[in-house]
A = this chain, B = another copy of it.
Amino acid sequence: MTHPLQPASRAPQWPHGANANDPELEALVREIIGRIADKWTMLVIEALAERGCLRFTQLAAAVGGVSQKMLTKTVRQMEADGLLVRTVYPVVPPRVEYRLTEMGMSLAEAFCGVWLWAEQHRHVIEASRRAYQAQAEGEGESTP
């Protein structure tokens, strides 16, 4: 079972062994992840994955709490990355629709694992935070 040429205690528990030691690939993946993991991108993906196709104002309402500036910036970035398509209808008043590409939908699916994880562990995380907080306060108690 153990491989003689590979120390068992250092076996990759990170589920994708292939790229773990490749610094170039890691830098690229890091940049992509950093980009998709920003505050609004995932929420835009979720909104569009749920509703299919939305206009700018509808998208803003679906995301919730996003400023015009940030929504514009986010969707432009996502368009450049090929995660969504932006369709401008030459009418007055303007009408612009946003829809996920296939790649955008596949990202929604890939991110589903993290979403489920967060859902499943949130109570444990919150309990852990409270315990940590309580302990930290207990330690500083001797000097009131």
Contacts and interface: CB of A to CB of B under 8 A. Distances in A.
12 contacts: A9-B53, A10-B52, A16-B119, A25-B119, A33-B115, A36-B114, A82-B124, A82-B127, A106-B117, A106-B121, A107-B114, A113-B113
Task: Give the dominant DSSP class at A's interface.
Answer: helix
Interface residues of A, number: 60
A46 B82 CA distance: 27
- How many copies the complex holds: the figure is 2
Contacts of A125: 32, 81-82, 103
Interface of A: 9-16, 19-20, 23, 25, 28-30, 32-34, 36-37, 39, 42-43, 46, 49-53, 64, 79-82, 100, 103, 105-119, 121-122, 124-125, 127-129, 132-133
